[in-house]
């Protein structure tokens, strides 16, 4: 494992407010936020319907009087119907990912941009960034919030940046070798792609000068962290965010790596049961809902993320007092219901990573024949384990199937794929193809 030691450093005093102070600050900011959105058509109509005025928000619990906002609401007001400032005050526009249809646009004022840079800087510092480091950013620079968001976060800390952007992986390997960046920023899956391409070029990825990395933008498992850390000989930190709320910077890990600190002085978090919409007890899995209380251009209230995680407000050893969220276990809309059992792609990933000889590249394909759900997992085999001996491959397939059954509780067909047989993504990995959706059978 990497010998990099992440010192415990905290950027802002607001990360360590005592909980009562924090709640008071949240309430004050929430009331201002409700005031700011009062003329946004969507909220104006909602507030009239629900009889909500800023004066009625007397406690933080009063937030629950306000209905949720969803992705569908944002789509309905496409492209910028949620704007709470005149167009002339927009300083930047980004768009949420999504491979089909139109993106969801999000706007920032100059103040929002500054807040965002600060929030990214906070988790970067929490995860070891120092002004003397060189950071290699392999996120897309464009509508996606990952590239520019992290870029300005790194600048805020005063470190230097190599804005490599995504794509052309052999060139990424060359840059990492020649310029000796200390830090890598990209999606976790892309880091494995970099390692793989390095090996194909005859470069041992462990010899790259990288010390540590900040990964985000897509779900990954603890086992995948172990694998990445082993393959690249680095320390890997997790950070989370979504465009509608601000982009990266909503939460991130500190040196303790025991969950991601939510920047609660800017975002109020709730964790709800996605079916009943009621709050779940602390520590239980639920869908995260965020209210962005300081955003100026496009504040959003009670935004349903579809991301499933747990929350704890137990104090952290690092001294920050903010609540922490677990890894995202899956998205409620990514959750597969197979023969009545709920399965997340992350569970399949966890099973695969327990079997030696498989690469963490997989694709889950779901279909329905008659009334029966049929699920097939395409799993790439490591070059060293790939064999033309039928018996060996059969044994590997059976081990994988058994591991998947033990983690998810259901049987899945396993199809082995030759090394590099599955398509790679430069950004967020595609893990599921659900033919039932295309056929309209779910």
Q: Which residues bind ligand DLL (CB under 6 A)?
A: 96-97, 144-146, 216-219, 238-243, 247-248, 305, 307, 328, 331
Residue 95 or 421: which CB sits closer to ligand DLL? 95
**Residue 422 CB neighbours (<10 A):** 17
CA 374 → CA 113, 338, 411, distances in Å? 46, 8, 10
Do the bridges between strand 105-108 and strand 160-162 make them parallel or antiparallel, or are there none, so unpaired?
unpaired
CA–CA dist 229, 223 (Å, integer): 10
Residue 216 or 357: which CB sits closer to ligand DLL? 216
Minimum distance from residue 10 beta carbon to ligand DLL (Å): 20
Residue 413 or 437: which CB sits closer to ligand DLL? 437
Residue 108 or 386: which CB sits closer to ligand DLL? 108
Question: If residue 175 lies in a helix (H) or strand (E), which one and from where to where?
Answer: helix 169-179
Minimum distance from residue 164 beta carbon to ligand DLL (Å): 15
405 in Cβ contact with 411 (< 8 Å): yes
Tokens for 358?
Answer: 């498989």
Minimum distance from residue 184 beta carbon to ligand DLL (Å): 13
Question: If residue 342 lies in a helix (H) or strand (E), which one and from where to where?
Answer: strand 341-343
**Which of 245, 189, 182, 246 lies closest to 216, judged by CA?**
189
**Which of 389, 399, 391 lies closest to 379, judged by CA?**
399
Minimum distance from residue 240 beta carbon to ligand DLL (Å): 4
Residue 54 or 95: which CB sits closer to ligand DLL? 95
Minimum distance from residue 82 beta carbon to ligand DLL (Å): 15
**Which of 147, 94, 154, 149 lies closest to 116, judged by CA?**
149
Given CA atoms 112, 113, 118, 123 in this order, what sign does their dihedral have?
Answer: positive
Strand locations in 163-259, DSSP E?
A: 183-186, 212-216, 235-242, 247-253
Minimum distance from residue 337 beta carbon to ligand DLL (Å): 18
Residue 253 or 264: which CB sits closer to ligand DLL? 253
Residue 217 or 357: which CB sits closer to ligand DLL? 217
* Residue sitting closest to ligand DLL (CB): 216
Minimum distance from residue 178 beta carbon to ligand DLL (Å): 25
CA–CA dist 333, 331 (Å, integer): 5
291 in Cβ contact with 63 (< 8 Å): yes
Minimum distance from residue 144 beta carbon to ligand DLL (Å): 6
Minimum distance from residue 214 beta carbon to ligand DLL (Å): 8
Residue 188 or 205: which CB sits closer to ligand DLL? 188
Per the document, the length of the chain is 442
CA–CA dist 16, 18 (Å, integer): 6
Residue 145 or 294: which CB sits closer to ligand DLL? 145
Cβ burial of 86 (10 Å; 0-12, 13-18, 19+) is exposed
């Amino acid at each position: 494992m990497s010998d990099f030691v992440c010192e415990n450093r905290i950027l802002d005093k607001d990360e360590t407010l005592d909980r009562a102070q924090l709640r008071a600050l949240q309430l004050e900011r929430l009331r201002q936020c409700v005031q700011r959105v009062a003329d946004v058509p969507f909220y104006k109509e909602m507030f009239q319907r629900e009889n909500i005025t800023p004066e009625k928000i007397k406690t933080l619990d009063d937030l629950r009087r306000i209905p949720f906002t969803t992705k569908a609401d944002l789509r309905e007001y496409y492209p910028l119907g949620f704007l709470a400032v005149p167009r002339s005050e927009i300083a930047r526009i980004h768009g949420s990912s999504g491979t089909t249809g139109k993106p969801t646009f999000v706007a920032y004022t100059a103040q929002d941009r500054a807040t965002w840079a600060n929030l990214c800087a906070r988790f970067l510092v929490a995860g070891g960034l120092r002004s003397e480091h060189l950071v290699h950013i392999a996120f897309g620079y464009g509508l996606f919030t990952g590239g520019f968001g992290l870029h300005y976060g790194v600048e805020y800390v005063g470190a230097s940046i190599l804005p490599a952007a995504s794509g052309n992986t052999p060139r990424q390997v060359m840059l990492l070798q020649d310029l000796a960046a200390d830090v890598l920023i990209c999606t976790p899956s892309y880091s494995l792609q970099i390692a793989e391409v390095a090996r194909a070029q005859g470069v041992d990825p462990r010899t790259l000068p990288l010390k540590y990395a900040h990964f985000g933008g897509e779900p990954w498992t603890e086992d995948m962290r172990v694998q990445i850390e082993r393959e690249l000989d680095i320390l890997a930190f997790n950070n989370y965010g979504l465009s509608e709320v601000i982009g990266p910077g909503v939460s991130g890990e500190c040196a303790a790596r025991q969950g991601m600190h939510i920047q609660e002085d800017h975002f109020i978090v709730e964790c709800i049961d996605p079916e009943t919409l009621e709050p779940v007890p602390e520590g239980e899995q639920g869908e995260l809902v965020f209210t962005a209380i300081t955003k100026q251009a496009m504040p959003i209230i009670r935004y349903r993320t579809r991301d499933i995680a747990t929350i704890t407000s137990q104090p952290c050893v690092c001294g920050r007092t903010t609540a922490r969220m677990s890894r995202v276990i899956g998205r409620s809309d990514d959750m597969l219901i197979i023969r009545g059992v709920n399965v997340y792609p992350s569970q399949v990933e966890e099973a695969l990573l327990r079997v030696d000889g498989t690469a963490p590249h997989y694709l889950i394909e779901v279909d329905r024949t008659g009334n029966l759900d049929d699920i097939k997992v395409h799993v790439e085999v490591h070059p060293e384990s790939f064999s033309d001996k039928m018996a060996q491959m059969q044994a590997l397939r059976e081990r994988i199937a058994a591991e998947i059954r033990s983690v998810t509780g259901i049987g899945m067909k396993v199809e082995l794929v030759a090394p590099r047989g599955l398509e790679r993504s430069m950004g967020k990995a595609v893990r599921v193809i659900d033919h039932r959706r295309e056929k309209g059978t779910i």
